[in-house]
Amino acid sequence: MKLLFIDVDSLRPDHLGCYGYHRNTSPNIDRIAERGIRFTKYYASDAPCKPSRTAFTTGKFGIRTGVVDHGGKATNLRNSEKNSDFKDGLETFSLPGILRQKGLETVLVSTFHERHSAWHFAAGWNQIFNCGKLGDEIASEVTPIALKWLKSNTDKDNWCLYLNYWDPHTPYRTPDSYGEPFRNDPLPDWLTKEKLEKDRELAGPHSAREVDMYWNKPLPEYPRYPTEIKDMDDMRKLIDGYDTGIRYMDDHLGQIFEELDNQGILDEVAVIITGDHGENLGELGIYAEHATADKGTCNIPMILSLPEMKDSRIDDNFHYNMDILPTLAEWLNVESDPEWDAKSFAPALSGQSYKDRKFLVISQCSHVCQRSVLFDKWLYIRTYHDGFHLFEKHMLFDLEEDPYEQHNLAETREDIVREAIELLNEWQDEMMAKMTEPVDPLWTVMNEGGPYHAKGNLEMYINQRLLPTGRTEAVEKLKQAYPNEFKV
């Protein structure tokens, strides 16, 4: 078996052609999707980067692993709910562990484990290639490593090559020499001048006025990345920057596929294309950041193509990113971890029906503290700490009518809110019952003063940005909501 696993940071499915995007961002990915399964409701259980890939690595929710933030105590992995033995099991029950059970050589090309001190992500790989740029690398620095390995290992039949690309991640840094491939393409039609005018009155990190966290100072070294969206020209610059990062990465995937084709093995290689999380590009008033527990941040692509597949299929069932672990274990007939929260969708690989999930719970504790429930057509968001965005405690969106989360229906559909809260409580009870030390890391984050990317900056933000730009109503609300953030 030969497996190419492509993990693209910050990749939204709805900005790929095979998911219906009107721009030609992903011709090489689209060709893979033509002979595979495209999953439409595939979500990161825990966002953003470190919580997501930790859940993917362990097969467990962040509430159980303890990893839900990017700093503080809630960024440290709990070994196990059980007493640890000589090993913690990740050498057997992570993605590479599953593949090594089947005799595959496992090869990782990524800087992620060093960027976030997520050393558990490195467990089980036979070889690791780290270009040393901590996620600041671009595709032209990743692809040559992969091509060299493929050309040097033509005699091997059983391998997994895992490639981690970062190009759609902010700040957008595709080289100027690549040009402007989307100069003449319209923006997504939901991003309007009227929406921008409303969003410029909002507060919070990565808002339209402060795209670069709390600041709008230009970054000349990143000309594709606007730090403030003043008008629709800036909006175009931001969306073009994101889409160009995808296209640049996709071009480099084309080089990988070309090499496999030249070796005569492209039709023998299983290909998985996914990501760690998506990206807010205007949802909830947030731009160019993976900052919430919602569809924009947590919905990710999953494209799975096996050699025996000839036609494209769509799977509209609910899945978590971690579900690929038991799926591969079942498909390869190797051992699964009974402690996993992940569930197999292996029957889908051969077109069979299977018992799907009825709802998902997704979490975010690095920019805000939120837990959300996806069920039927609904997205319910419960906010514990709003990251200074002044979100309502309860938010409800009809994703069929309102996929970009513009109209909060919580007050008019209290019946759906109650149903969502019941599902959230059901899930939390189940998780806490599995833990020998039932400590919810969301509350660890709250007790530390809030999410890592928001903590300790409110007074500065009010004085240096909100007051000078006339957002006094937001200032008063923030002072009432967060009195402890100010010096006495």
Mean pLDDT of the region 395-420: 98
The percent of residues in the chain predicted with pLDDT above 90, rounded, is: 95
Locus of tokens 């558990």 = 120
pLDDT greater than 60 at residue 488: no
pLDDT digits (tens, 9 = 90+) for 194-230: 999 999 999 999 999 999 999 999 999 999 999 999 9
Mean pLDDT of the region 421-435: 97
- For 122, the 3-state DSSP assignment is helix
pLDDT greater than 70 at residue 80: no
For residue 84, what pLDDT is reported?
64
Mean pLDDT of the region 258-275: 98
Helix (H) or strand (E) holding 419: helix 414-433
Q: Sorting pLDDT into bands at 50, 70 and 90, what band is 366?
A: very high
Mean pLDDT of the region 375-399: 98
Peptide bond into 48 cis (omega under 30): yes
- Chain mean pLDDT for the chain: 96
Extended strands (E) in 31-133 = 37-43, 46-47, 105-109, 127-129
Contact between 31 and 299 (Cβ < 8 Å): no
Q: Which two tokens stand for residue 285?
A: 């008033």
Architecture per CATH, 2-357: 3-Layer(aba) Sandwich (3.40)
pLDDT greater than 90 at residue 1: yes
C-alpha–C-alpha distance, residues 15 and 469, integer Å: 32
pLDDT greater than 60 at residue 62: yes
Contact between 280 and 12 (Cβ < 8 Å): no
pLDDT digits (tens, 9 = 90+) for 92-103: 999 999 999 999
For residue 273, what pLDDT is reported?
98
pLDDT greater than 70 at residue 81: no
For residue 486, what pLDDT is reported?
84
pLDDT greater than 70 at residue 82: no
Q: Sorting pLDDT into bands at 50, 70 and 90, what band is 78?
A: confident
pLDDT digits (tens, 9 = 90+) for 148-194: 999 999 999 999 999 999 999 999 999 999 999 999 999 999 999 99
Q: Sorting pLDDT into bands at 50, 70 and 90, what band is 8?
A: very high
pLDDT greater than 70 at residue 105: yes
pLDDT greater than 90 at residue 242: yes
Residue 326's closest CA among 122, 101, 110?
101
pLDDT digits (tens, 9 = 90+) for 16-52: 999 999 999 999 999 999 999 999 999 999 999 999 9
For residue 436, what pLDDT is reported?
85
Peptide bond into 483 cis (omega under 30): no
Can you list the pairs that 376-380 forms with residues at least 24 positions away whose Cβ atoms lie under 8 Å?
Answer: 377/401, 378/416, 378/420, 379/294, 379/295, 379/405, 380/410, 380/416, 380/417, 380/420, 380/421, 380/424
- For 228, the 3-state DSSP assignment is coil
Residue 241's closest CA among 191, 291, 167?
167
Mean pLDDT of the region 270-275: 98
For residue 89, what pLDDT is reported?
87
pLDDT greater than 90 at residue 469: yes
What's CA 476's distance to the chain center, in Å?
33
